[in-house]
Amino acid sequence: MKLSYHGHSIVKIETNGKTILIDPFINGNDTTDLDADSVKADVILLTHGHNDHVGDTVEIAKRNDALVVAPFELATYLGWQGVNTHPMHIGGAHEFDFGRVKLTQAFHGSAYTEEENQRIVYTGMPAGILLFAEGKTVYHAGDTALFSDMKILGERYDIDAAFLPIGDNFTMGPDDAALAAEWIGARKVIPVHYNTFPVIEQNPDSFVQALPGGAGVVMNPGDEMEL
């Protein structure tokens, strides 16, 4: 399994012959190395409906005939735009040909903002994502505050890599994310959702240095990791 990070909260996972994109916010994201017009994807996993996570999903999915897996309301909204979707909800899991996906809790909002209409479209509850494939477990927390049930994730699952937001203001900041990392107990912890906008500027090196056992890894856009 190959993991790569592409700025903000974008993660690419290559496993079982499939390319998976999580939260592909590309256009309007100055931190990414991806091109929305050429990026390849067989599957897109979405944590919630905010514009900086849905991003270029519709265009990428249509161009690649990709499957979009998302919380029910968000999947329905995207399905109305002609995208092939698989709806799920928190606590539910499903076995796909690329691996098993389970949605976890996340404490955040979830709505898509149509700025041209000055309208906010409710897109259900936000989620985190657990992906089980090739004997590995990857956790993408999505946008979330610290919550105590992260301890349960660490107790129930042997997590190889965890992507945790550290930007503060809209999500956990570095201190809360460090506690989340302790509770989750992943072998590798990668900070995400920082430095895209001034209000979420953080020092990822300081964050990973605060984690015990060398678990923290700063991944710059385009960096890859083998699990």
> Residue 212: its pLDDT value, please?
82
Q: For residue range 59-77, list pLDDT tens digits in order.
A: 999 999 999 999 999 999 9
Half-sphere exposure at residue 35, Cβ-oriented, CA atoms within 13 angstroms: 2
In 3D space, the residue among 33, 82, 32 whose CA is nearest the CA of residue 57 turns out to be 82
pLDDT digits (tens, 9 = 90+) for 16-43: 999 999 999 999 999 999 999 999 999 9
**Could you tell me the two tokens for 35?**
């091109």
**What count of Cα atoms within 13 Å lies in the side-chain half-sphere of residue 125?**
12
What per-residue string of b and e applies to 142-157 under the rule 16 or more CB within 10 Å gives b? bbbebbeebeebbeeb
Percent of the chain with pLDDT over 70: 100
- Report which of 129, 124, 135 is spatially closest to residue 164, judged by C-alpha positions: 129
User: Which backbone phi and psi does 36 adopt, to 5 degrees?
Assistant: -60, -25
pTM value is 0.98
Query: Which are the contacts of 136, defined by CB distance < 8 A and separation ≥ 6?
Result: 1, 15, 160, 161, 227
Exposure string over 87-109, b if 16+ CB within 10 A, otherwise e: bbebeeeeebebbebbbbbbbbe
Residue 226 pLDDT level (bands cut at 50, 70, 90): very high
Q: What are 10's two structure tokens?
A: 């974008």
The two beta strands, 67-71 and 85-88, are parallel
What the chain holds in terms of domains, given with CATH numbers, is 2-219 (3.60.15.10)
Place of tokens 């079982």: 16
Give the separation between CA 84 and CA 61, rounded to whole angstroms.
8
Mean pLDDT of the chain: 97
User: Which residue, 36, 27, 28, 33, is CA-closest to 7?
Assistant: 33
Question: Per the structure block, which two tokens stand in for 157?
Answer: 């699952």
